[in-house]
Every structure is written in C-alpha cells, then in structure tokens.
Amino acid sequence: MKRYASLIVFFISILLAGYGLFTNEANILWQKAITICLSCIGIG
C-alpha cells in the first residue's frame, strides 16, 4: 500500500478538487480574492 501512497493521494486530490469545482468553490474563492482582505492588510 505504501508503495502506491503518492498515486492514492494524487487521485484523492483530483476527486477533492473536482468536487470543489463541481460545488462552485472556485467561484467562492474568486469572490473572496477580488475583494480587499482587511485582515490580510491589517486594518480589520
């Protein structure tokens, strides 16, 4: 099993990313990223 660890993690990651894309998480990330993050810049 250990021999295939990288492949297993790779395919699980594809599934996760695919699920995220399917449930619109990339757009949610985009919405966050196009507004100024007040926490990041240290004023809110």
Partner 1 sequence: MGRHRKLTQFLSLLIGNLYLLPWRESPIFQGATKRICFPGLNCYSCPAATMSCPLGGLQNALADFRANLMLGVFHPGAYIIGTLGLIGSVLGRIPCGWLCPFGLFQEILFASPFKKIALPRFLRYGPFFFLIFFVILFPLLLVDSLGYGQTFFCKYVCPAGTFEAGIPLSIMEKDIRGAIGLLFYYKFTLLIAIVLWCLVTSRAFCRSICPLGAIFGLFNRISMVKLRFNKDNCVECKACYKICPTDISFFDNIDNINSPACIRCMKCYKICPTHSINLVFEPILKENKENFQEN
Q: How far is the CB of 25 from partner 1 (least distance, A)?
A: 4
Q: Which two tokens stand for residue 28?
A: 């949610």
Crossing angle between the packed helical segments 5-22 and 25-33, to the nearest 10 degrees: 70
Which 5-44 positions form the footprint of partner 1 (CB under 8 A)? Answer: 5-7, 9-10, 12-21, 23, 25-30, 32-34, 36-37, 39-44
Query: Least distance from C-beta 22 to partner 1, angstroms?
Result: 9
**With contact defined as beta carbons under 8 Å apart, do 38 and 44 qualify?**
yes
Cβ(20)–Cβ(26) below 8 Å: yes
Question: Which chain residues interact with partner 1 by CB under 8 A?
Answer: 2-7, 9-10, 12-21, 23, 25-30, 32-34, 36-37, 39-44
